[in-house]
Amino acid sequence: MNTYSNTIDDERFNTVPNDRWIDANEIRLGQFLVVANVTTAYVINKWELIAAQCCIFALMVISPKMTDIYKCIYHGFIKPLGLLKPDMRIDNIEAYRFANMIGIVVSGTASCLLYSGYETIGWSIVWVMISLGSLAVLGWCAGCFVYYMLQKMGIKGFFRHAQIGHVFPGVRAPRP
């Protein structure tokens, strides 16, 4: 039985496994904070913030329940203060975790380039992160898109979950 059934008055959703319910506002806040962090890094010209973001992405992938700093901010401050209310949706958290894996590679590459003195290409990669992160906040996740395209190509294992809802791949799952 679904523990979120008291928030949705529709019997069809009582059979959805608990691990398929996600709080879209929790994910959206994380996406917003990534954009804020890398934009701040560009504005104050500190590649170390990009490297820190790479470490945050890595922790989110390795142990998402324990070390996701953005999830801690959401559950520890934002949600208790009533600044954001839960937006429960049926979705695949694996797509977002895959997007974080791509974030490790991209932010790691940018921070290495910036550290090595290749500022033009390094900051250009940061601007790609800012652009795609902003699109994610608005509802379309590029990393999720890649996840669902790999799934449609028939790659199994981690990529076994198909897109939920009849939406364009990478678009935030619709509300039930």
Residue 83: pLDDT over 90: yes
**Which stretch of 25-34, 67-76, 125-134 has the lowest confidence by average pLDDT?**
67-76
Buried b (16+ CB within 10 A) or exposed e, 36-70: ebbbebbeeeebebbbbbbebbbbbbeeeeeebeb
Q: What is the mean pLDDT of residues 103-110?
A: 98
Instruction: Assess contact for 38 and 29: CB atoms under 8 A.
Output: no
Query: Is residue 175 a part of any domain in this protein?
Result: no
pLDDT at residue 5, as a whole number? 40
Query: Is residue 10 a part of any domain in this protein?
Result: no
Number of domains the chain is built from: 1
Query: Is residue 102 a part of any domain in this protein?
Result: yes
Query: Is residue 99 a part of any domain in this protein?
Result: yes
Segments forming the whole domain that contains residue 41: 21-159
Query: Is residue 165 a part of any domain in this protein?
Result: no
pTM of the model: 0.85
Query: Is residue 108 a part of any domain in this protein?
Result: yes
Q: What is the mean pLDDT of residues 44-69?
A: 91
